[in-house]
Amino acid sequence: MSALPAPLQEQTIQEQPVNDAPVIDLHSLSVTFGRRQILKNLRGDLRGRAIGLLGPNGAGKTTLIHTLLGFHYPSAGTAQIFGHDIVTEAKEIKALVGYMPERDSFISKMSAVHFVRLMAELSGLPPEAALERAHEALFYVGLGEARYRRLETYSLGMKQLAKLAQAIVHGPRLIFLDEPTNGLDPPARLRMIKLIREIRDSGKANIVLSSHLLLDVEECCDEILILRDGQIVVYCNLEEERKSNRKFLMLETRGDQTRFVEALGNLGCEYALTGDHRLKVVLQNGVEVRDLYRLAAQEQVQLRRLSYKRDSLEDIFLKAMENTNGGL
């Protein structure tokens, strides 16, 4: 694992946030474009090290990011980033955050180091420090040897890395990543995921990761925020949510299943026969795997195989799409 660059080891621009302050605090945040309401009364405080932002197309994910960055003004309510209001303290927030956009936003005929230096200066670093940090950030993401090349000559994967470099160059406390692995081949995607996890695990910056790839979020994030129709339908700790969901088992047995499945039903478990000596079981609250072994011994049935599965992020996401209640 490579060492973090100086921008993420030292926060020289901004003050450290209060330890117990939310990363993002949403206060009835709403955004309207024309007659269409895009974000609808979003409320809650987000505190995760890495927060996955999920939702179908048109759910409002990018609009939420752009509003927090100051690109759009709220039509009602507001939000705070590390205690700074996005409307009245937009200048302070620019030094606190980094942003890796989904679409390329490069300047024609500009080299990578020139571009990253410019982004660092716009975030508040003086020119000499900005140039030094630009070199460090580009080496960190793996573009050190190509930092003097024009960005238009870069491959798609290299352009994504250059966007990450400009997002971290000034040492932000919060980094917004919008579809960071979009269009990457498998090796380039693994490199990007590794960098994101290094930043997350350093504890130097929080991350908001917006992606339509559930695997990216599952590999990088400890909490998730799911939007649908401009409303929050789920905000949860990913591991706690998995543990709280019902448990699914696949069983393979030997012996007469009749009395065994009857005993399962008496425990309140749902079950379905899927083949000869095979069945699916859903464990209810208060029922553990050891209870199945006890019943099997009691009914003289042998459990030959047992596979255990908890809900995946895909399961959680699909359930959220069926949920009709917004809010945290």
**pLDDT tens profile 114-167:** 999 999 999 989 999 999 999 999 999 999 999 999 999 999 999 999 999 999
Q: Do 22 and 153 have their domain in common? A: yes
Residue 321 lies in a domain: no
Instruction: Please provide the size of the chain in residues.
Output: 328
Per DSSP, the residues of 77-107 read EEEEETTEETTTTHHHHHHHEEEE-SS--PP
pLDDT tens-digit readout, 225-256: 999 999 999 888 887 776 665 577 888 999 88
Q: Do 116 and 138 have their domain in common? A: yes
Residue 316 lies in a domain: no
CA 264 – CA 268 distance, rounded (Å): 7
Q: Do 52 and 140 have their domain in common? A: yes
**Which whole-number Å values give the CA distances from 91 to 81, 147, 221, 302, in the listed order?**
12, 29, 28, 68
Q: Do 55 and 184 have their domain in common? A: yes
Q: Residue 230 corresponds to which tokens in the numbers above? A: 């401009």
Beta carbons of 217 and 48 less than 8 angstroms apart? no
CA 210 – CA 220 distance, rounded (Å): 11
Q: Do 149 and 196 have their domain in common? A: yes
Q: Do 153 and 36 have their domain in common? A: yes
Using a cut of 0.95, tell me whether the model's pTM lies above it: no
- Provide the number of structural domains found in the chain: 2
Q: Do 198 and 147 have their domain in common? A: yes
Residue 166 lies in a domain: yes
Picking from 184, 219, 241, the residue at the C-terminal end of a domain is: 241
Which structural domain, as residue segments, surrounds residue 30? 6-241
Residue 325 lies in a domain: no
Q: CATH no. for residue 275? A: 3.30.70.790
